[in-house]
């Protein structure tokens, strides 16, 4: 008579040789059904898995697994398309807002140039010097 293996609840599936599984099949099936335990079957004297006793809810056909994988791939592709479109829209909005701010800044500097004579206001002269590169870009973009 084969001694029954102690019940254990771990994340690792239990491993049982085929000879023992033949004598304990009813017990192993009940264990799978009641405790969601997976039992891996090995050939006698060889520790490589050859089959498994799994709870019915966990058993899935290859077709079901492929269908689920196809559905996940379709959903993922849909989200990727949505994200790409949102990125394109955001980029277009950003470019439009940048053009609007650049145009407003160019208008502000043009108005300052009309109202204040060069060298007349030291604070404005410092600001103009600090923004010289930006002002040069604004005037070259306007041209």
- Tell me what pLDDT residue 117 has: 78
* Cα–Cα distance for residue pair 75/86, rounded to 1 Å: 16
Read off the tokens for 69. 């994988």
* Cα–Cα distance for residue pair 21/24, rounded to 1 Å: 5
Could you say which residues of the chain have pLDDT below 70?
1-11, 142-143
- Tell me what pLDDT residue 108 has: 86
Alpha helices in the chain (DSSP H): 18-35, 62-115, 122-130, 132-142
- Tell me what pLDDT residue 97 has: 96
Q: In sequence order, which residues have a C-beta less than 8 Å from that of residue 134 and are 6 or more positions away?
A: 105
* CATH architecture group of domain 14-58: 3-Layer(aba) Sandwich (3.40)
Q: What is the pTM of this model?
A: 0.45
- Tell me what pLDDT residue 51 has: 92
């Amino acid at each position: 008579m084969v001694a029954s293996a102690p019940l254990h609840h771990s994340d690792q599936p239990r491993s049982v040789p085929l000879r023992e599984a033949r004598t304990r099949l009813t017990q192993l099936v009940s264990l799978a059904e009641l405790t969601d335990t997976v039992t891996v079957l090995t050939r006698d004297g060889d520790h490589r898995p050859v089959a498994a006793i799994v709870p019915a809810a966990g058993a899935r056909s290859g077709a079901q697994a492929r269908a689920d994988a196809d559905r996940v791939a379709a959903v993922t592709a849909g989200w990727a398309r949505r994200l790409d479109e949102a990125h394109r829209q955001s980029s277009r909005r950003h470019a439009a807002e940048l053009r609007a701010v650049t145009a407003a800044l160019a208008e502000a500097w043009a108005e300052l140039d009309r109202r204040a004579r060069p060298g007349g206001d030291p604070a404005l002269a410092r600001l103009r010097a600090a923004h010289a590169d930006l002002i040069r870009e604004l005037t070259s973009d306007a041209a």
